[in-house]
Structure 1
Amino acid sequence: MLCLQRIKTYLVCLLVLALLSSCDGLFKKDEEKEPLARVGDVFLYKEDVAALLDDSISEQDSAIFVTDYINNWASKQLLLSKSKINLPEEKLSEFDRLVDDYKSDLYTRAYVEALVFNAQDTSISRNQLMSYYEKEKENFKLSEKLVQLRFVEIPTQFLDREGVKQRMADWSASDKEYLDSIAVQFNKIHFNDSVWVSASRVMEEIPPITSFNEEEYLKKSQFFELQDSLEVYLGKVTDVLEVNDIAPYEYILPEIRQLIINRRRLDYVKKLKTEIIDEAIQKKEFEVYETN
């Protein structure tokens, strides 16, 4: 019996020592956090600032950074402390509510975005795109002139300037084939005259055409020959759409695709909110109390 009592006493002593050792370890872990500054009961620790330091900067620059950071941190803490003392209670309550709302929005937005990303269907058929365009085309009014044209930019000393000019104007199959064959001699080329291009983009590519003279050169069936100090620009405008005309399907296609994806996203989020409330009601996790 005495032996058993000694064993129990020995085990209790071991347990107490283990607990003391464990607590000592915990206290030491806290003591290892080296404070850099204190404002009231709030401490700034060395490890908080260390994570912000870049190993590539010098010791002197690091010291300057740390000093500035401590001063900024201290001023914020002091101002925060003063504000809590001096601002009206209703204003503090309003700010606390705004902070809670902002925090809630951050969490929920990140969660919803992750769900949308995983569930999002970005495949859109041509029929869907065309159907959307036909349905909404009145909302796709142009805010800028569009043109279809072909043009080349050649050096001023180009030898067969007249030949290129004639072929650009005639534009038979043989003319296009020939110009394609010597395209390496041109500074710029744009032969795909079925593509709609904004007038502003044309002005970027052909500097002699400006907002002051575009009406003269950017009109349907217009052939132009322009020159600056370095280059000659030869071109033929095949078609024009003016401001407030309906945007062509090909030109507006990327926007239509994004609009459809955005609409799907909104529909999914709406469905998600409905489903999550229905599920919570079924599980009795959410209920609304009747009030007079």
Structure 2
Amino acid sequence: MLSLVLFGCEKLYAPLEPVVEEDKKAIARVNEVYLYEDDIEGLTGSGSTDSAQIIQKYVDSWIRKQLTISRASQEIDFDEANIERKVLDYRYALMVHEFEKYYVNQRLEKNISEDEIKTYYDDKFENFILRQNIIRCLYAVVPAEAPQMDNFRKLIRSYPNSDLEEIQSYCYRFASQSSLETELWLNFDEVIASTPFANVQDKVTFLKNNSYIESSDESNYYFIRLLDYKISNQISPLEYIHDNIESILINKKKVELRRQLEEDLLKNAKENNEFEIY
């Protein structure tokens, strides 16, 4: 991948000099600069169904870049040494990036314990301010023609004094949508988005004043049994941001591995007298 990217840069920013190679088949030309078949070898994988599309896109890009460079060369006196230095810096940056990615992938331990997640949350909880209202609930959308609606209404309304398995069984058979994970935190706006409750203006007051919500339209009945809620600008519960914290901790491990790589390289180079500063 690295070689392909570097190759692409070289071809896109080829010098505007007459270049004619008689033994090669040209596939595009801008002024006196040619793009040859050999130049696009390896651009597509063997058997690629969209290889013609990929090549055409590359050729179009090459032509546009060459036309831009041609015009720029006419109007600007470029510092060629400075450009070459930037190209070299970019090349080195790509090489370093690819090596760091390889090094990290070989050594990264992605398993994050629950204790690590809890500790990070306890230390940084003030950083996890909710930007939306969230709820724990039982939620169901049931077609109007579904049977035993009154019995289901009693079950979901009286939870947790009713049998959750009965509620789940009914929803499995008849509900068109449902969310029955009692410990799962959900974005309140997303839950009510396609329901008659979406028109509620004062959502905070609505949540504070209701533990059971029901509505209907011509097609469905909508049931929400609120179990708990958190208002925006409050501290997010750990369960709601658990996966985010796990990602944060994995990224911190990546950063530490990159830092350790640099330190190890510098230490080993010093010990082996591999560099000097004059």
TM-score (normalizing by structure 1): 0.73
2:126 to 126, 129, 138: 138
Q: 1:32 to 1:232 in 2, by over 3 A?
A: same
Structure 2 residue 21 is the aligned partner of structure 1 residue 33: no
Separation in structure 1 between the aligned mates of residue 147 and residue 165 of structure 2, nearest angstrom: 19
2:148 to 141, 156, 160: 160
Q: Which amino acid aligns with 1:191?
A: L
- Work out whether residues 137 and 228 of structure 2, in 8 Å CA contact, stay in contact via their aligned partners in 1: yes
User: What does 1:166-177 correspond to in 2, within 5 Å?
Assistant: 166-172=154-160, 174-177=162-165
Structure 2 residue 126 is the aligned partner of structure 1 residue 126: no
Structure 2 residue 247 is the aligned partner of structure 1 residue 258: yes
User: What does 1:14-25 correspond to in 2, within 5 Å?
Assistant: none
The corresponding residue for 2:11 is none
2:232 to 243, 259, 274: 243
Residue 237 of structure 1 aligns to a residue whose secondary structure is: strand
Unaligned runs of 5+ in 1: 1-29
Q: Which amino acid aligns with 1:130?
A: K
- Work out whether residues 217 and 223 of structure 1, in 8 Å CA contact, stay in contact via their aligned partners in 2: no
The corresponding residue for 1:185 is 174
- Work out whether residues 219 and 239 of structure 1, in 8 Å CA contact, stay in contact via their aligned partners in 2: no
1:115 to 79, 103, 109: 103
Question: Shift of the alpha carbon at 1:169?
Answer: 1.4
Q: Deviations over 1:108-149 (max 9, x none)?
A: 101101100101011222211111111111111111111111
Question: Shift of the alpha carbon at 1:278?
Answer: 1.8
User: What does 1:1-292 correspond to in 2, within 5 Å?
Assistant: 32-36=23-27, 42-48=33-39, 69=59, 73=62, 76-77=65-66, 79-80=68-69, 83-84=72-73, 86-90=75-79, 92-172=80-160, 174-183=162-171, 184-204=173-193, 206-210=194-198, 212-213=200-201, 214-215=203-204, 217-219=206-208, 221-289=210-278
- Work out whether residues 213 and 223 of structure 2, in 8 Å CA contact, stay in contact via their aligned partners in 1: yes
- Work out whether residues 221 and 239 of structure 1, in 8 Å CA contact, stay in contact via their aligned partners in 2: no
Residue 198 of structure 2 aligns to a residue whose secondary structure is: coil
Q: 1:37 to 1:242 in 2, by over 3 A?
A: closer
Q: Which amino acid aligns with 2:82?
A: E
Question: Shift of the alpha carbon at 1:52?
Answer: 6.3
Q: 1:175 to 1:120 in 2, by over 3 A?
A: closer
Residue 235 of structure 1 aligns to a residue whose secondary structure is: strand
TM-score (normalizing by structure 2): 0.76
The corresponding residue for 1:24 is none
Separation in structure 2 between the aligned mates of residue 283 and residue 97 of structure 1, nearest angstrom: 29
Q: Which amino acid aligns with 2:232?
A: V
The corresponding residue for 1:6 is none
Separation in structure 1 between the aligned mates of residue 26 and residue 165 of structure 2, nearest angstrom: 77
Q: Which amino acid aligns with 2:36?
A: Y
Residue 239 of structure 2 aligns to a residue whose secondary structure is: helix
What is the count of residue pairs matched by the alignment? 251
Residue 219 of structure 1 aligns to a residue whose secondary structure is: helix
* Bigger Rg, which one: 1
Separation in structure 2 between the aligned mates of residue 195 and residue 56 of structure 1, nearest angstrom: 43
Separation in structure 1 between the aligned mates of residue 217 and residue 224 of structure 2, nearest angstrom: 15
Question: Shift of the alpha carbon at 1:261?
Answer: 0.9
Q: Which amino acid aligns with 1:98?
A: K
Q: 1:40 to 1:277 in 2, by over 3 A?
A: farther
State the percentage of identical aligned residues. Answer: 23
- Work out whether residues 136 and 229 of structure 2, in 8 Å CA contact, stay in contact via their aligned partners in 1: yes
